[in-house]
Amino acid sequence: MTKLPQRLETDADHVERDLVRLVLTIVELVRQLMERQALRRLDAGGLSDDQVEELGLGLMRLEEAMTTLRSRFDLTPADLNLDLGPLGSLLDQ
């Protein structure tokens, strides 16, 4: 059993970075799920050419925003991937 530290880290920069890391992890998980759903719909032929274009553009912009935010807070894609122990990693890499 892992023992908790005597003191919690309360440095404002550390707390802010950890919060951003958590939020970006959730956003990345949702982005990956949206991408998979879009591919399923595309494979099923359920999207018009305009919808495919809009969806691709939206996912590309989200990816760019994630890259910008990761860079701003000095995070890598690996920093967002939570280890779920015996279940493996949270995100696809």
Q: How confident is the model at residue 7 (pLDDT cuts 50, 70, 90)?
A: low
pLDDT in tens, 55-77: 899 999 999 999 999 999 899 98
Of the ranges 1-15, 27-41, 71-85, which one carries the lowest mean pLDDT score? 1-15
82 φ/ψ angles, rounded to the nearest 5 degrees: -80, 140
What are the domain boundaries of the chain?
15-70
Is pTM, for the whole model, over 0.85?
no
Which residues lie below 8 Å from residue 25, measured CB to CB, with a gap of 6+? 80, 81, 82, 90, 91
Res 1: pLDDT: 45
Average pLDDT in the 12-19 region?
A: 82
The amino acid occupying position 57 is: L
Are residues 28 and 91 in contact, defined by beta-carbon separation less than 8 angstroms? yes
Say whether pLDDT at 6 is over 60: no
